[in-house]
Amino acid sequence: MSLSPSPTVADLLVLYEQEYLHLKAPSTAYKQRLLYGHYRRAFGALPLTAITPAWLRAWRDELALTLKPGTVRVYMDALSAALTVAVSELGFLDEQPMRKVRKLPDPASYTRFLSAEERQRLLRACRHSEDPRLYPVVLLALHTGARKDELLHLRRRDINLTQNVVYFVKTKGGVIRAVPLIGEALVYVSKPYIQIMPPDAWLFPGPVSGMPTRIDYAWDKARREAGLRQFRFHDLRHTAASYLLMSGANLVELADILGHRTMQMVKRYAHFTQGHTRGVLTRMAQQFLA
């Protein structure tokens, strides 16, 4: 594409979409492509030199008036990725202006998980939900640590009862992940009515033919009935991770189960391994250093 002598925000975003966006995970690329379309309409005509730290701070504060902190970070991170390329590879800018802008607190550092009593209340509310699909979805989330979209896009063929494994095909990183099925989760997927489903059938079919179900309304109602405030469906993933680590799993095993591609992504849970680590060090000292 031909660029103007003073590249605009739209010039950068179009070039970034063409050359770099395909290198990201499919779900990330899809979300950022939607955001970039919004940015082009909102301020694409601005020259890149107008995107200063002061401009970015004002933009951040405007977003924060209507969006949650985590969503504001997503908006800023998407633009930041393109600005980094504008500096490091394209030479459109001399420095990355986003580096001088304080972002809102990272929601990823928030690791809310269920206590035993909270878990019982939540499962009870889900079991009595008007939506019969809610309870098994929540049950599988707690047993596998899977994301909501990964669970709702399961098909019958993704359940292997010969090996007692579930295959998550629609994953955030685009890599198929196999997780063993145990306990109540295995009992559920072994039910006769599931076994006679066609291979391509959704494990949790929705009201619209050919589409997976949606559980947002039923989930929110059950969550409120269980008395859980500030608890998201994604926190079931945090709960499974926390339970795994408190049961003696290490961070490498956790990354394998959850499908994290880097150890940095699971280090938020490191404090749960402290008791296990202390036990390992104690055994080492007793055997070799006493």
In a shared domain, residues 72 and 210: no
Which residues contact residue 256 at a Cβ distance below 8 angstroms, ignoring those fewer than 6 apart? none
Residues 6+ apart with CB under 8 A from 78: 31, 32, 35, 36
| Each residue's pLDDT tens digit, 173-226 | 778 999 999 999 999 999 999 989 999 999 998 877 777 888 999 999 999 999
In a domain, 133, yes or no: yes
Q: What is the C-alpha separation between 290 and 286, in angstroms, rounded?
A: 5
* Confidence at residue 1, expressed as pLDDT on a 0 to 100 scale: 45
Q: Say if CB 173 and CB 259 are below 8 A apart.
A: yes
Same domain, 216 and 136: yes
What is the per-residue pLDDT for 128? 96
Question: Does 123 share its domain with 210?
Answer: yes
Residue 54: which H helix or E strand, with range? helix 53-64
pLDDT at position 173: 74
* C-alpha triplet 109, 258, 16: angle, nearest 5°: 70
Residue 276, domain member (yes or no): yes
For the ranges 141-155, 178-192, 247-261, which has the lowest average pLDDT? 247-261
Q: What is the pLDDT of residue 33?
A: 93
How would residue 111 be classed by pLDDT, with cut points 50, 70 and 90? low
Residue 286 lies in a domain: no
The confidence band for 259, taking pLDDT boundaries of 50, 70 and 90, is: confident
CATH of the domain at 261: 1.10.443.10
Predicted TM-score (pTM) of the model is: 0.64
Residues 275 and 158 occupy one common structural domain? yes
CB 250 within 8 A of CB 152: no
Question: What is the rounded (10 degree) CA torsion for 277, 283, 285, 290?
Answer: 160
Local structure of residue 159 (DSSP, 8 states)? E
* pLDDT confidence of residue 53: 95
Whether residues 145 and 226 share a domain: the answer is yes
Question: Among the listed ranges 62-71, 107-116, 273-282, which one has the minimum average pLDDT value?
Answer: 273-282
CATH at 97: 1.10.150
Residue 158: inside a domain, yes or no? yes
| Residue 72, domain member (yes or no) | yes
Residue 274 carries which side chain, given as an amino acid letter? Q
Question: Number of folded domains in the chain?
Answer: 2
Output the average pLDDT for the chain: 87
Q: What mean pLDDT comes out for the span 69-92?
A: 91
pLDDT number for residue 251: 82
d(CA 265, CA 81): 18
Output the DSSP codes for 166-229.
EEE-S-TTS--EEEE--HHHHHHHTSHHHHTS-TTSBSSB-SSTTSB---HHHHHHHHHHTT--
**From CA 149, how far away is CA 27, in angstroms rounded?**
11
Q: Output the six-digit token pair for 200.
A: 């391509």
Taking each helix axis as running N to C, give the angle between helix 216-225 and helix 116-127, from 0 to 180 degrees, rounded to the nearest 10.
130
- Structural domain including 210 reads 116-280
| Contacts of 58 by beta carbon, 8 Å cutoff, 6+ apart | none
